Chain A
Amino acid sequence: MIAQEIHETLKGTFGDAIFEAKVDGVLDPWIRVAPDRVRDISLFLRDDGRMLFDSLMLLTGMDYTKGRLGVVYHLYSMKWNHRIVLKTEVTVDQPHVQSTEAIWKTANWQEREAFDMIGVVFDGHPDLRRILMPDDWEGYPLRKDFQVPEFYNGMKVPY
């Protein structure tokens, strides 16, 4: 399926939860979806016979600045050899996105990383802990406004 058809099918199934899409003039066509419906949409994309997106290639946490965060899902179907990008946006005050861990197990660690680095909270994740940074780290390092702390556990941070 081409991105246009995927967008129309999703629109027909989930209606309001599917926002705009950009399918022309970009290298990777993308569809923006509602953060609180990601789970249903992902399950549909994985299991519907026309979609069969069996692999989540990459899950990225994004800081779009001005108080907006995002999650980007790069999906690929090994069966139909088609791909699509899902995007979802949340605010810094309410950074809640549904977890897709139960649909693609690979999301387990990738969501943990997005939580660790950007601070997106994945509702329904079974084990949402920091993964790369120390457990007692404060702040989210990949946010654009992140300031390196002067001290960490009483030790001066050089550099």
Chain B
Amino acid sequence: MDVTLQKEGAVADVDAGRRPATVPGLGRALRAEEMVINMGPQHPSTHGVLRLELIVDGEIVVDAIPHIGYLHRCFEKHAESMNNYQQVIPYVDRLDYVAAMSNEFGYVVAMEKLLKIQVPERVEYIRVIMAEFSRIVSHLIALGTYGIDMGAYTPFLYCMRDREHVLDIFEETCGARLLYNYMWVGGLSHDVKPNFQDKTRDFCKYFRPKIAELNELLSYNKIFKERTAGVGVLPPEVAINYGASGPVLRGSGVKWDLRKNDPYSIYNRFAFDIPVGMGIKGRVGDSWDRYMVRVHEMEQSVNIIEQAVEQLPAGDVQSAIPKRIRPEPGEVYVRTETPKGELGFYIVSDGTASPYRVKVRPPCFVNLSTVPAICRGSMIADVVAILGSIDIVLGEVDR
């Protein structure tokens, strides 16, 4: 067995070639020096309180150092101090606050695996519908705000308009529009309303043409393509090594989706595709690819919702909720595919009613760590394009 440390450099050197050397065509007399520019924490294109320390050589970024933690609110410490596992769920909502349903889904799936609970079929179906709705909502925000970053304001308003329809369904179901506390360990807080199936079908019918509209407005817009295609290329092997997941990984052409590759809940019952970046406008793994993967994922989510709503069985949604949660001493790691990527929960139980340790694997945190690798050698204005295409939510990065 030949174990050497020589291979370590393989990934680290990928971006060495893109590092700017000297300014070509300018004489030796020119004195150039690097400058440090702060981008954020209050900057509209950082999507929250993120500070990027940009080291620039003229217009070219030599290095980008993200500084995070401005929104840190001790989620894991809070979780340990709860005296009931159900009480963690409202905090879980606030991780990725634009897709709260998906976060809850990850947590309850992990808890049910730890407790070995089988939830009723109806609960599984409603959860999948809600999680896919939440994916549509999250992607609409990601795409709309990305348009704003690139100077297109109108698509954002169209995205927000469509998002309202989903939020109305959420509101009718559980009373909340953003932070739901809807999925509980073993069940749901409310059953859906009698007109839920009709409303969902109506939404699917309404929403499909809107994706085509978004494509005409933004995706294939010439200015937008020029700003994003070929910008911020993330090669697949770098993406995997950095642990990137979700649309960031798929944008790099890796066909990887936990709903297919490591199925949880009932995702293996639905037919849907995994869109990947093809590099049709620039190179595989550029910002446009990451953007376009999200557009196609919304179509696939509509497919899943349509199938699930037709199969929705009758039943009680609260019958499996345990009266008192006291897992055996043990631990579990469960990962689910949220709109941002692989959301994992590592839950350790010591046999008491409060968790010993709840560790989150936040997809945004890990995806954000690829930023220095992507940004090196790009222009300052492209940093905005790269950051927007990664789609971070600082509530999840900082926890």
Partner of B243, one of A13, A62, A102, A104: A104
Q: A41-81, CB under 8 A of B: which get 1 and which 0? A: 00110011000001111101010000000001010001001
Q: Which chain A residues lie closer than 8 Å to B76 at the CB level? A: 117, 142
- Of B189-197, B222-230, B293-301, B358-366, which binds chain A? B358-366
Q: Given the complex, which residues of A lie within 8 Å of B359, measured CB to CB?
A: 58, 60
Asked if residues A55 and B399 are in contact (CB atoms below 8 Å), the reply is: no
Contact (Cβ within 8 A) B3 A40: yes
Q: Which residues of B contact A13 (CB under 8 A)?
A: 1, 3
Partner of A48, one of B1, B68, B80, B346: B1
Chain B proximity of A146: nearest CB distance (Å): 8
CB interface residues, B 63-81, toward A, < 8 Å: 68-69, 72, 74, 76-77, 80
Interface string of A106-138 (1 = CB under 8 A from B): 101110000001000000000000111110000
Instruction: Let me know if B331 is at the binding interface, CB within 8 A.
Output: yes
Sorting the interface of chain B by its residue count into under 10, 10 to 19, 20 to 34 or 35 or more gives 35 or more
Q: Kindly list chain A residues whose C-beta atoms are within 8 Å of the C-beta of B361.
A: 57-58, 74
Beta-carbon contact of B3 and A57 below 8 Å: no
B157 beta carbon closer than 8 Å to chain A = no
Instruction: Note all chain B residues with C-beta closer than 8 A to A58.
Output: 333, 344, 346, 359, 361
Kindly supply a per-residue 1/0 record for chain A positions 133-149, scoring 1 wherever the CB is within 8 Å of any chain B CB and 0 otherwise: 11000000110000000
A85 in the interface, Cβ–Cβ < 8 Å? yes
The answer to whether A27 and B369 touch (CB under 8 A), given A60-B346, A60-B359, is no
The verdict on A57 contacting B344 (CB below 8 Å), with A44-B3, A105-B241 known, is: yes
Tell me whether B330 is interfacial, beta carbon within 8 Å: yes
Report Cα–Cα, A154/B3, bound state, in Å. Answer: 52
Residues in A with CB closer than 8 Å to B365 are 109
Alpha-carbon separation in the docked complex, A110 to B247 (Å) = 21
Given known contacts A55-B243, A85-B333, is B369 in contact with A106 (CB within 8 Å)?
A: yes
CB distance from A126 to the nearest CB of B (A): 10
Contact call B366/A106, Cβ cutoff below 8 A: yes
Minimum CB–CB distance for A116 against chain B, Å: 9
Give the CA-CA distance A130 to B333 in the complex, in Å. Answer: 25
Alpha-carbon distance A142/B81, docked complex (angstroms): 11
Q: Please, which residues of chain B bring their CB within 8 A of the CB of A105?
A: 11-12, 238, 241-243, 369, 373
Q: Taking the complex as formed, is A8 at the interface, i.e. its CB lies under 8 A from any CB of chain B?
A: no
Of B68, B240, B333, the residue contacting A54 (CB under 8 A) is: B240
Asked whether any CB of chain A lies closer than 8 Å to the CB of B391, the reply is: no
CB contacts (< 8 Å) of B346 on chain A: these are 58, 60, 72, 74
Please indicate the chain A residues that have their CB under 8 angstroms from the CB of B114 in the complex: 27
Judged by a CB distance under 8 angstroms, whether A90 is at the interface is no
Residues of A within 8 A of B369 (CB): 105-106, 108-109
Whole-angstrom distance between the alpha carbons of A142 and B369 in the complex? 22
A51 to B3, CA, bound (A): 13
Q: Which residue of B lies closest to A137 (CB)?
A: B69
**Complex alpha-carbon distance, A26 and B327, angstroms:** 13
Q: How far is the CA of A85 from the CA of B332 in the complex (A)?
A: 10
> Smallest distance from the beta carbon of B133 to chain A beta carbons, Å?
26
User: Complex Cα distance A85/B330, Å?
Assistant: 13
Residues of A with C-beta under 8 A to B68? 131-132
Residues of A within 8 A of B201 (CB): none
**CB-CB contacts of B236-256 with A at 8 A, as 1s and 0s?**
001011110000000000001
Residue contact A44 to B243, C-beta cutoff 8 Å: no
Contacts of A28 in B (CB 8 A): 331-333
Taking A39-B5, A57-B342, A105-B242 as known contacts, 8 extra A-B pairs with beta carbons closer than 8 A to each other, sorted by chain A number, are A27-B331, A54-B240, A58-B333, A62-B357, A72-B346, A102-B5, A141-B77, A142-B77
4 cross-chain pairs, A with B, having the tightest CB-CB distances, nearest first = A106-B243, A132-B69, A102-B8, A58-B361
Chain B positions within 8 Å of A, measured between CB atoms, are 1, 3, 5, 7-8, 11-12, 68-69, 72, 74, 76-77, 80, 113-114, 238, 240-243, 256, 261, 330-333, 335, 342, 344, 346, 348, 357, 359, 361, 365-366, 369, 373, 398-399
28 contacts between A and B (CB under 8 A): A13-B1, A27-B330, A27-B331, A28-B332, A28-B333, A43-B8, A48-B1, A55-B240, A55-B243, A56-B243, A57-B335, A57-B344, A57-B361, A58-B344, A58-B346, A58-B361, A60-B359, A78-B261, A81-B261, A102-B8, A103-B8, A105-B242, A106-B242, A106-B369, A110-B366, A132-B399, A141-B74, A141-B77
